[in-house]
Amino acid sequence: MTVSGFTFNAFSENTYLLHDATGQCAIVDPGCYDRAEQQALRHFIEAQNLNVVLLLNTHCHIDHVLGNQFILDTYKVPFLIHEADLATLRAVSSYASSYGFPAYSPAEPTGFLTTDAPVQFGDTTLEVRFAPGHAPGHVVFYHAPTSTVIGGDVLFKGSVGRTDLPGGDYNTLIRSIETHLLTLPDDVTVYPGHGPATTIGTERQTNPFLN
């Protein structure tokens, strides 16, 4: 599995395209809001001859969902979130304008992620790990063959996700990290929702929130 990343919107949110040798592609957390961002994503997909088959959200805060409806309109694919974040997703419409995104278009999921049902596309199988604390329905996606985690806003390079938003809880977040991320091998690369990638080993040894 290959991970291709883009950084979009005023929150510098990381959007990821996951694709493999079959050409099938899952889009995770599309933060593309304006036309330029949307076109950048679409042009990359066309240039790489990718077949978008799935839309996933690690969680549903505004910066991670701004492009959901664009993806659905463009590619007509299933859209999956964890059910515990449905209220978080639906709440975005009530505050999008005040955050500077008056053209936000809400999207409804077509199904829900569960920890006992891996996500599959092409030759790729992603393990779904439930990791609340930053958001009530936050999940991370683990791909063991390539030692990769798509981590959303749970664990960052030298930091962890904020917990002062509705549904956040610091103790729950730390427990999620300890249970679902720090149990992974040190060489696993974490692709976070903001900032640069890191590894489990680096964060285990140096992250001030985990020591």
Q: How confident is the model at residue 211 (pLDDT cuts 50, 70, 90)?
A: confident
Question: Reduced to 3 states, what is the DSSP secondary structure of residue 126?
Answer: strand
Q: In what order do the strands lie in the sheet with 198-199?
A: 119-121, 124-130, 139-143, 148-152, 189-192, 198-199
Q: Are 75 and 52 in contact (CB under 8 A)?
A: yes
What is the greatest pairwise CA distance in the chain?
A: 45
Fold of domain 2-206: Metallo-beta-lactamase; Chain A (3.60.15)
| The model's pTM | 0.97
pLDDT in tens, 108-156: 999 999 999 999 999 999 999 999 999 999 999 999 999 999 999 999 9
Say which DSSP state 144 is in.
G
pLDDT in tens, 13-28: 999 999 999 999 999 9
Give, for 149, the enclosing helix (H) or strand (E). strand 148-152
